Structure 1
């Protein structure tokens, strides 16, 4: 190994960065053992505590794992599952989490209305019509319209990524729901932030979990106020109030509310952002009701956050296409499209409720929750039930894919059933009960 391929640095941060650089160059690989603390400290001429701090930074970022007598080793990079349909399978996919294409409004009727003069460099990054509509959309959840500072991004994931980047640095702690939306896990891992899991129950993010995350140094909180993915839970009024009380002691912690289901939700919007909270953002994507390919989200935030986001969305360079913004506004303000979105809301809720009731009658209790999918608790491990379903022709997602704390195997499946016809839904229910409760007949 050349001097270029050895660990260097005299501060904890420099040593940690050196290890990362060696990993990126291929000089270090997964499962390689780093030098013992004493040996590296002597080699670099630094205090042992400096090396201990460097290794701690690397462990917090998931770069290394401590194996006791096995030493400190480069961590295996475990892939994070991706949302969407499964490729190259002959199984019936009931784990996609996708909206029904038949329920997405057809944009062809309004396309002619969105054409106009070209938008040039230096012009406002938000289309005036969309800004006016979105201001009214957020007004019900803000003290006044004067508090609403809007930003448009390329979807909710893009918004969350930019929001975290303008507030955090590498190794900063982020409180995430557990189980968690897959894209949020991706975002935090790729940016090198430290995910702090906060348990989720039927009323949303737990109070004790949030308090523990803040005590652990979380500088940002990403929370889903309704239709949490994957559990379908929504904040109760009592839970939202209790979370606001906890956050009141941390007014400069960035709170991001990802209201991804918004217009499709059957639940009221209950915010955890208190009146005096300094750093906050509410994100609403259009992907669930206008289609994932629309790639557009609107964020309302405090003035400082909005200003920092604006610096990352330069006029004509990294802004969201005005044609796309006009198309979204045209659909959102179109009476026919609004009726179709309302019908989709009813359809998703009804189909999920019917399937949950069928499972409950068959001895597998299930609450429908809110959202595109169901969160089904099963006896034993979810993986064993999913494997049994595969043998019956179904592909389901296990809760293991969505978890941050891997203390025990998951006992939940996430099922997307709203696009099944009555016969297929009944068959899936029978097969699921037979797989989860083999001693009983559906």
Structure 2
């Protein structure tokens, strides 16, 4: 028999998974790439102020763990996370009103990974996830990649509308509610204790999980703290609380935490084993050392004081920067102000002209899971000094005025 011969042709590679094809890049991160020029004053990114990082304290912590225990700090670790770091996070959570043990926690590679692990552990393709409208952009990416059907819940100036949540939950039979109740990204809004209690009761009555994301809670510089949803009756056995060191220590550490009921936490540990085995051993050890010897609360006092001044500079200057008829809020903490331009303005269409004036914002439209508000704008106030903020607002006023 003659030998088989292969034709001189090449077949195409198989296509990407549908979930990869349907999930777009983050518009925020795309804008950051466009505005990387040093002369641009950007209100676009949610980037903590780098000059406020405790670089010396972190350097000392890394030096200590690499000098005193290099074999442990540079070795593989457990998937659950460094025991000392988990104990420190548990102590801080307990001090903030939510009794927590180290074994209640899983250390994650940023709270972003925590949400991905929850999606892996909880969601089948087609499952319904309820989100605030507007919602944190990367959460929408995660739920899209999981194949979930995302259903928006209306919000007002006070955040998530509990009555709407109850009606939608009864109709849609969701598996999960995702919410950022304190200084929400993108709006800066904070849910009241009354609304949090209502959310907890609705979740219990309708039978759904809650993913409570809290990256900004320790950045309050006005008013009294509001308890976590996880602490309200009805929510205790169904809430996964996501925490982050990105906004209180440094985002480059990529450290977060996940507090969840035992069965869900164990499923997330297995998902983490499949994802990355464990979070960086040396970063965890350094963070634990830092928390043991440094005064994080004093550091946060300095950060909050600076952010308060920057919030004031931004909010107090918007009246002259934005067109007459615009609206905006005055958040009591966090990193973001939410503004809406007058009807007829399109914040996305205006952005190229704004960037030509060496200033930037993030259009609000991509944050909506439902019909977008073309007039909405997210402005971050933390990255620049008050003087730079005032200059940026002058440029923004010129750009919008030319329109």
TM over 0.5: yes
Q: 1:338 to 1:381 in 2, by over 3 A?
A: same
1:166 to partner: Cα distance: 0.8
Which ranges of structure 1 fall in alignment gaps of 5 or more residues? 1-23, 29-60, 64-74
Distance 2:211 2:16 in 1: 38
From 239, 255, 260, the equivalent of 2:210 is 255
Aligned with residue 291 of structure 1, among 238, 250, 255: 250
Give the whole-Å Cα distance in 1 for the aligned partners of 2:111 and 2:163.
27
Cα distance change of structure 1 residues 360 and 330 upon mapping to structure 2, 3 Å threshold: farther
Gap regions ≥5 residues in structure 2 = 1-12
Which of 179-188 and 340-349 deviates more? 340-349
Query: How many equivalent pairs are there?
Result: 372
Task: Work out which of the residue numbers 367, 376, 382 in structure 2 matches 1:418.
Answer: 382
Among 365, 389, 414, the residue aligned to 2:354 = 389
Does the Cα contact within 8 Å between 1:225 and 1:269 map onto a contact in 2?
no
Contact 1:359 1:429 in 2 (8 A): yes
- Specify the alignment match of 2:164 in structure 1: 209
Corresponding residue of 1:428: 392
Decide whether aligned partners of structure 1 residues 142 and 280 sit closer, same or farther in structure 2, where only a CA change above 3 A counts. Answer: farther
Q: Give me the CA root mean square deviation.
A: 3.2
Q: How many angstroms does 1:262 deviate by?
A: 3.0
Q: Rate the CA distance shift 1:294–1:435 in 2: closer, same or farther, 3 A.
A: same
- The answer as to 2:367 corresponding to 1:402 is yes
Shift of 1:373: 2.6
**Whole-Å Cα distance in 2 between the matches of residues 413 and 123 of structure 1?**
42
Partner of 1:113: 64
For the 8 Å contact 2:119–2:142, the answer to whether it is kept is no
Q: Which moved more, 1:194-203 or 1:95-104?
A: 194-203
**Aligned-residue offset at 1:315:** 11
Q: 2: CA distance between counterparts of 1:77 and 1:411?
A: 24
Pair 1:164-2:119 in alignment: yes
Cα deviation for residue 146 of structure 1 reads 5.9
Greater RCO structure (CA 8 Å; 6+ sep): 2
CA contact (8 A) 1:114 1:323 kept: yes
User: What is the match of residue 299 of structure 2?
Assistant: 340
Q: Which residue of 2 aligns with 1:32?
A: none
Rg larger for: 1
> C-alpha separation between the residues in 2 aligned to 1:185 and 1:294?
23
SS at match of 1:270: coil
| 1:48-127 equivalences in 2 (<5 Å) | 78-83=24-29, 86-89=32-35, 90=37, 91-106=40-55, 107-115=58-66, 116=69, 118-119=71-72, 125-127=80-82
Matching of residue 25 in structure 1 with residue 14 in structure 2:
yes
Residues 437 and 319 of structure 1: CA distance in aligned 2, closer, same or farther (over 3 Å): same
Structure 1 distance, partners of 2:274, 2:70, is 16
2:233 alignment partner, one of 260, 267, 275: 275
